[in-house]
Amino acid sequence: MNEKLELPPAQMRELGYRVVDRIVDHLAGLDEKMVGAKGDPAVLRPQLRQSPPCSGVPAEEIFSRLERDVLPYIMNICHPRFFAFVPGPSNFVSVMADALAAGFNVFNGSWLGGSGPAAMELAVIDWFRQWCGFPEQAGGLFVSGGSMANLTALTTARHVTLKDRTGGAVLYYSDQTHSSIDRALRVIGFLPEQIRRLPADSSFRLPLEALARAVAEDRRAGLRPFCVIANAGATNTGAIDPLAEIAAFCRAEDLWMHVDGAYGAAAVISDRGKKLLDGIALADSLSIDPHKWLFQPVECGCVLLRDSNLLKATYRIMPEYLADVHRNVAEVNPCDYGIQLTRGFRALKVWMSVQYFGLESFAAAVERGFALAELAEAKLRTMPCWEVTTPAQMGIVTFARRGSDHRFYARMHDAMLRDGYALATSTVLKGKTVLRLCTINPRTSDEDIEGTLDWLDALAESNSE
Ligand SMILES: Cc1ncc(COP(=O)(O)O)c(C=O)c1O
């Protein structure tokens, strides 16, 4: 029995080195491995559903269980040929930062709990503020990901503009908007009849005329238009809504503008991204996910508010048991700005990796994502059996096999998983099923793109009817 749950230093080091070795082996050889594997629930679940051991099991055995039953069954979202959904390219320095944050068990909820980490979070959030061109009084918070960032922002919008009285209030966004927005609105009490999911235009952007018409109609009907949600990189196609025009409309109509840049907003650090995302600085609130295109390991999302005091107005509650935390007004308590009290030190990984590589390297890594999608598009245009359905945009290209229906894509999915060389996933654009590559991993080589498209072509041949 080990009632203190302690290890002597030599054993801690041994376990720690072993973990680091395992991570390094995994990452160093990733390129050669299958992109991932999916286990059968009928096999995996019984294998792992066991009572906990009464006494400790040797580390050797624990590791071999992991190697056998768990680690082989993941999708390697940082694999250079993982093009599905939104990849998580990650980076090793940030992985070590996560280990440090866990090792020191940093409580990043209050200034008292961790003034160094709180000050660092404020500093890193201020980088984001500047990258996005937000004013001085803007600020925000690290959260678990884009879903939480959207929830945190929309809850603030509801509190600040509606005083939490949602009756008759209406929100507007395009049908290309991520489902996390629908979920956030469900969580904070908006009903389906309060949501206008407007059909996107032929470029998959929110059409301004339809937006203006819907707002005017709702006003005539005595409803309360309240918020527009714009995409800064829609998940399906990478489309960016006309941000500057939407912002002008929102100003004129006195509407809150939330920008979901969970996927795309980090591209502002590159020259190309900055141009494409023109107008992002005008948002009232913005979601950005460093665990996507800013190369951080999961979980790392971020919410920015044009006026950080609005977060505080929404979330700050001062119970008697936190009186010591709230005594000094100069101290910033992250728990006052969001939903979590106990929270990890997510800023550390962003800070350490940007220190280590420098911002130029990050900008070049983002630029590479743009270029890889363009390379894929160019190659697809030379392949007679495929058609490009949306051009390379923010590191995403979509394409379809001529003459194929949705059943073909289901067969392709199974075939891709069986083979494991690469992974692309399907989506539906205006009723048509297509394949989609998201190419934001800077470790993807040109050969990976070419090889993947040739491989898809061969798989398609053998899976056509
Ligand atoms: C545009 C957009 N918003 C929100 C999300 C949700 O982010 P998360 O999965 O980090 O919660 C995603 C995820 O891909 C996304 O692409």
43's tokens: 């096999």
Span from the CA of 295 to the centroid of ligand 1 (angstroms): 14
For 85-142, give the DSSP string: SS-----HHHHHHHHHHHHTT---SSTTT-HHHHHHHHHHHHHHHHHHT--TT-EEEE
* 387 burial type by CB count under 10 A (0-12 exposed, 13-18 middle, 19+ buried): middle
Span from the CA of 7 to the centroid of ligand 1 (angstroms): 39
CB-defined site of ligand 1, < 6 Å: 86, 145-147, 178, 180, 235, 260, 262-263, 289, 301
In degrees rounded to 5, what are phi and psi of residue 393?
A: -150, 120
Amino acid identity of residue 175, one-letter, is D
The string of pLDDT tens digits covering residues 164-179 is 999 999 999 999 999 9
Mutate to test the pocket of ligand 1, among 77, 86, 151, 241 (most ligand atoms within 8 A of CB): 86
For 205-229, give the DSSP string: S--HHHHHHHHHHHHHTT-EEEEEE
**Closest alpha carbon to 260 in 217, 224, 229:** 229
Cα-only R_g, the chain: 24
Span from the CA of 293 to the centroid of ligand 1 (angstroms): 11
Span from the CA of 300 to the centroid of ligand 1 (angstroms): 11
The model's pTM is 0.97
* DSSP bridge partners of 426: 435
pLDDT at residue 464, as a whole number: 82
Half-sphere exposure at residue 314, Cβ-oriented, CA atoms within 13 angstroms = 27
The string of pLDDT tens digits covering residues 282-309 is 999 999 999 999 999 999 999 999 999 9
**Closest alpha carbon to 414 in 426, 403, 397:** 426
Which CATH number is associated with domain 106-357?
3.40.640.10
Mutate to test the pocket of ligand 1, among 147, 150, 293, 300 (most ligand atoms within 8 A of CB): 147
Which CATH number is associated with domain 1-37+74-90+364-465?
3.90.1150.170
Torsion angle, CA of 289/66/105/341, rounded to 10 degrees?
50
DSSP class of 331: S
d(CA 365, CA 362): 5
Span from the CA of 349 to the centroid of ligand 1 (angstroms): 19
Where do the domains of the chain lie?
1-37+74-90+364-465, 106-357
On whether the CB atoms of residues 394 and 440 are closer than 8 A, the answer is no
For 24-64, give the DSSP string: HHHHHTGGGS-SB----HHHHHHHH--PPPSS---HHHHHH
On whether the CB atoms of residues 165 and 204 are closer than 8 A, the answer is no
Question: Which atom of ligand 1 is nearest to 145's Cα?
Answer: 10
Instruction: Please report where in the chains the tokens 């020191």 appear, as a residue.
Output: 104
Q: Mean pLDDT per segment of 10 residues, for the chain of length 465 residues?
A: 96 98 96 95 96 96 97 97 98 98 98 98 98 98 98 98 98 98 98 98 98 98 98 98 98 98 98 98 98 98 98 96 91 97 98 98 98 98 98 98 94 97 98 98 98 98 85
